[in-house]
Amino acid sequence: MLYLLIPFALAAVITLYVVHSSTVHGHLSADHDLSGPQKFHARPVPRIGGVGIFAGLAGMVALAFALGHPQARMGGLLLLCGIPAFAAGLIEDFTKRVSPGKRLLATAVSAALGCWVLGAMITRTDIPGLDLIVATTVGAVLATVFTVAGVANSVNIIDGFNGLSSMCVSLMLLTFAYVAYQVGDTEIALWSLAGVGAILGFFVWNYPAGLIFLGDGGAYFMGFYLAEIGILLIHRHQEVSPLFALMVCIYPVFETLFSIYRRRFLRNTNPGDPDGIHLHSLIYRRLMRWALGARDARLMTRRNSMTAPYLWTLCISSLAPALLFWDSTPMIAACMVLFGVFYVALYWRIVRFRTPKWLVFRGDQRKLPVDPQNH
């Protein structure tokens, strides 16, 4: 429990300090743009929540070294490797001048460092043809760097509403912790729990009130940390299916791949442009049929916070089969296909205004303006 509670307490206290000191740094750290396609808040909010998460884990690493825990080295190396990804995102949070390409490059550097100092490499996939590539050192490094950068970017993409990406990543890390415990890997289990604790320390101030946002620094670091834990688990234990980690992360990864396909081939736009019709954006606009058109901060915050539980449920729908079939590649592959079919079917139902009535939350619509595009 120490590895869960210490990062939680440190992250919660530091995040609270960041929130209360926002009058000093808010001109740099706050998100003042309220008009973009992915902006769903009514007032400027600090977007450097990643500071508390990183600090919570750093505090746990320092304590583990002080207590002489043998797991301390792995935690320290994970943080050191994650610095480029975290720093690039944090600089973007303050300056708004770091392009997505540069952030991805920094995350790739973090992934390469993980290959070098942690030995976290994808050396098997159970996918014909691809296994021949990752059997070589160069192929394994390239596959690992691509995967880690992709997961980090996907976590950033689903970071659109209060509590959405932070709770999803917490649930994913808990899944890794459970399987690590099942195969007797205490080290990975403990640092998975430490990640959960640090993220929840941020979560209590982010959800439901939205007092602080995760920001790119937090999203890219969380994505890097999640991917590294998953890769280390399948690298160390042959009994764990190499598709297990992908199944755990399938919600944000599939969201990213589907968004690229939708923008590039259906809309003929740049896949890197801001997008207001991600699944979570559609749920916000079309399932939350109350406070439509209102700019009142209280109503917008409540509507924002009611969106995330829908996606938490979607995330859990992929984690349950991952837990059941973590040692079976064929079953996990079948579950991944089923998830993709369900996701696409749900997306097209919502985007075509055919949302199942049982999914729609109408709430209190008294004296609120109506948005004709949602009816």
Mind listing the pLDDT tens digit for each residue in 72-92? 999 999 999 999 999 999 999
pLDDT at 280: 84
pLDDT at 370: 41
What is the band of 367 on the pLDDT scale with cuts at 50, 70, 90?
A: very low
Amino acid at 161: F
pLDDT at 375: 33
- DSSP, residue by residue, 4-58: HHHHHHHHHHHHHHHHHTHHHHHHHHEE----STT---SS-EE--THHHHHHHHH
pLDDT at 180: 98
Q: Encode pLDDT of 130-144 as tens digits.
A: 999 999 999 999 999
pLDDT at 72: 97
pLDDT at 261 over 50: yes
Query: Between vectors from CA 260 to CA 29 and to CA 245, what angle results, nearest 5°?
Result: 80
**Integer angstrom CA distances of residue 210 from 45, 107, 137:** 8, 26, 44
Q: What is the dihedral of CA 298, 304, 306, 308, to 10 degrees?
A: -150
pLDDT at 296 over 70: no
What is the band of 341 on the pLDDT scale with cuts at 50, 70, 90?
A: very high
pLDDT at 290 over 60: no
pLDDT at 243 over 80: yes
Percent of the chain past pLDDT 90, that is, above it, reads 70
Parent domain of 101: 2-374
Largest CA distance in the chain: 65
What is the band of 268 on the pLDDT scale with cuts at 50, 70, 90?
A: confident
pLDDT at 365 over 50: no
* CB-neighbour burial class of residue 62 (10 A; exposed 0-12, middle 13-18, buried 19+): middle
- Between residues 295 and 241, which one has the greater pLDDT? 241
Percent of the chain past pLDDT 70, that is, above it, reads 86
The two counts, helices (H) then strands (E), for the chain are 16, 2
Cβ proximity of 214 and 18 under 8 Å = no
Quote the pTM value.
Answer: 0.90
pLDDT at 301 over 90: no
| Two structure tokens written together for 301 | 């915050």
Least confident of 11-20, 60-69, 215-224, 274-283: 274-283
What are the φ and ψ backbone dihedral angles of 288, each rounded to 5 degrees?
A: -90, 80
pLDDT at 299 over 80: no
Domain count, the chain: 1
pLDDT at 369 over 90: no
pLDDT at 278 over 80: yes
| Two structure tokens written together for 229 | 């834990």
What is the band of 264 on the pLDDT scale with cuts at 50, 70, 90?
A: confident
Return the closest-CA partner of residue 323 out of 195, 168, 179.
179
pLDDT at 303 over 60: yes
pLDDT at 32 over 80: no
